[in-house]
Amino acid sequence: MNRFHSTARYKLMTPGPTQVLENVRMARSLACTNPDLDEEFVEFYKETCTLISSLLHTKNETLILDGEGILGLEAACASLTEPGDRVLVLDNGVYGKGFADFVSMYGGIPDIYHASYEHTLDVSALAEYLKEHHDYKYAAVVHCDTPSGMLNDISKICPLLKQYSILTVVDSVSAMFGEYIDADAFQTDILCGGSQKAVSAPPGLSFVVISSAAKEAINSRRTPIASFYANLKLFETYYEDKWFPYTMPISDIYGLRAALDNIASDPDMLKRHAAIGSATRKTLQAAGLKLYQQSGFSNTVTVFNVPEGISVRDILEQMKQKHRIMLAGSFDEFAGKVIRIGHMGANATVSNMTETLGALDDVLRGLGVKLQEKLDEYFLHIVRES
């Protein structure tokens, strides 16, 4: 274990958790005040929330919740769903489908709209479907479905749903800050993010960005919210009352703030993600590897099929043992079939990717894969041209 070491055991190139920069780790070691009693902390919390809203180009209120990314998704569903509510679950990936569980758990009736896991959600097909079926309180949409690297176009999907007054819960945990978001223009209602993906803080926090329409829906419920920890209404007057529903994890929030300040002072972040995502895809394809998807490529993660006869486990183990780099396999129906490279947040630098692709080149050739290009060299060549 590396619990007493200051450097990481492996270079994380996974699609979350991602690498945590030193200034973020240091911020987590600052002296703590009592976050329940010190009003300055309430100001700091609110400022940090406002910073998230401004980075996402919205006037909607952000709340930071004390729980890993999943808490935001559950809190959105718990707070909106009343028994008997019909909810449209857009399923073109593992997380997309997973929303059905949260909807059912809080008494809602999920209607699963299934679409290909290899393609970005076809917005015109959804528009056709909605003509006949639009009696939903809200819809759950995943921005980047990480197990397959699927990027859905929330800039079109959310406004389309809004035409039928369907609210949207958007899981952008693994896309936010690596893909462009204008929450006001996209008309998201509850937009969910997490600390451990492109934000590049450790896991532990989620945040939700809530529209006034979502607040109205929460406030006009006929039944109480069947949760305490996942109840967004409890935060309604936290600022006026200087009171949080539970003690805030102050060190985590110090770390998050440092990570958000890093993002705010990095005007090229999205451009860099786009260049690295594109060069990574081109490199793998030029070498003869196959990307899992046919369309909808997120610039935060690349997913490729493991060549016939090679095991995911062997690749991942050799990357760790020989090169001290951690990549990820995947889960659910993708288990054992694909490898995922997470190039989001602090992972998304040319040097991290060059090192990773050089190591991957070595491991794949060692396992007998015939690559048609030298991965790191090809990548550098492409990314320098962009």
Ligand X SMILES: *Cc1c(COP(=O)(O)O)cnc(C)c1O
Q: Which residues bind ligand X (CB under 6 A)?
A: 16, 68-70, 95, 142, 145-146, 171, 173-174, 194, 197
Query: What contacts 229, CB < 8 A, 6 or more positions away?
Result: 67, 71, 75, 246
Taking the least distance from each CB to ligand X, the nearer of 145 and 189 is: 145
Taking the least distance from each CB to ligand X, the nearer of 188 and 318 is: 188
Output the six-digit token pair for 24: 């973020």
* 3-class SS string, the chain: CCCCCCCCCCEECCCCCCCCCHHHHHHCCCCCCCCCCCHHHHHHHHHHHHHHHHHCCCCCEEEEECCCCHHHHHHHHHHHCCCCCEEEEEECCHHHHHHHHHHHHCCCEEEEEECCCCCCCCHHHHHHHHHHCCCCCEEEEECEECCCCEECCHHHHHHHHHCCCCEEEEECCCCECCECCCHHHHCCCEEEEECCCCCCCCCCCEEEEECHHHHHHHHCCCCCCCCCCCCHHHHCCHHHHCCCCCCCCHHHHHHHHHHHHHHHCCCCHHHHHHHHHHHHHHHHHHCCCCECCCCCECCCEEEEECCCCCCHHHHHHHHHHHHCEECECCCHHHCCCEEEEECCHHHCCHHHHHHHHHHHHHHHHHCCCCCCCCHHHHHHHHHHHC
Taking the least distance from each CB to ligand X, the nearer of 71 and 234 is: 71
CB of 373 to ligand X, least distance (A): 29
Which whole-number Å values give the CA distances from 336 to 97, 233, 308, in the listed order? 20, 41, 11
Q: Which residue is nearest to ligand X (CB)?
A: 69
CB of 232 to ligand X, least distance (A): 17
CB of 75 to ligand X, least distance (A): 12
CB of 255 to ligand X, least distance (A): 17
Taking the least distance from each CB to ligand X, the nearer of 174 and 293 is: 174
Taking the least distance from each CB to ligand X, the nearer of 70 and 112 is: 70
CB of 217 to ligand X, least distance (A): 22
Taking the least distance from each CB to ligand X, the nearer of 195 and 356 is: 195
* Closest to 140 measured CA to CA, from 112, 105, 106, 178: 112
CB of 83 to ligand X, least distance (A): 25
Taking the least distance from each CB to ligand X, the nearer of 108 and 194 is: 194
Query: What contacts 201, CB < 8 A, 6 or more positions away?
Result: 20, 24, 195, 252, 255, 256, 258, 259
CB of 71 to ligand X, least distance (A): 9
Q: Give yes or no for a contact between 65 and 88, defined as CB atoms under 8 angstroms apart.
A: no
Taking the least distance from each CB to ligand X, the nearer of 144 and 232 is: 144
Q: Cis (ω within 30 of 0) for the bond into 267?
A: no
CB of 267 to ligand X, least distance (A): 25
Taking the least distance from each CB to ligand X, the nearer of 88 and 359 is: 88
CB of 186 to ligand X, least distance (A): 17
CB of 206 to ligand X, least distance (A): 8
Taking the least distance from each CB to ligand X, the nearer of 30 and 335 is: 335
